[in-house]
Structure 1
Amino acid sequence: MGAPLVASNGHRLGSLCIMDTQPREMEAGQAMILGNLAEMVVRKIELDIHHQLHAPSAAPLTRVYGQKFQT
């Protein structure tokens, strides 16, 4: 069983899959939970990318703040 990992821009990142030791049918509620979990994974990936892209721009501000407000 699996759920697609689709970025907010529509790019397909992969899939979130689950496995078991025995074949079984997934109930509708379980499929919904897996889909929700896949959305959370995509949000986390996008948030990490956003932080990596914007973290260097905050470094000078942090340095100035540290110099002005040292105790």
Structure 2
Amino acid sequence: MYYKTVEQTAEDLGMPQSQVLKYIYEGRIRAVFDGEQFVINSAQFDTYYEQLERIREEIEIWRNTPIPEDMDVKDED
């Protein structure tokens, strides 16, 4: 298990620290208060990162797929 601070988590997720804290208070991000600060188990984001990577791969495939020719277009000179 690897724990991160609110600051590290915010940087990894690309969101402000205030939003991470809001999610902690709402229960959307699980965290433990160690007496000084919240620490967050980074394993809870593994699925998020896997899904994000899969979406990026699908977008890249979509971008590289050629557009098929339109069947209704006829070359009439």
When normalised by structure 1's length, the TM-score is 0.47
- Pick the structure with more helix per residue: 1
Return the index of the structure with the highest Cα Rg: 2
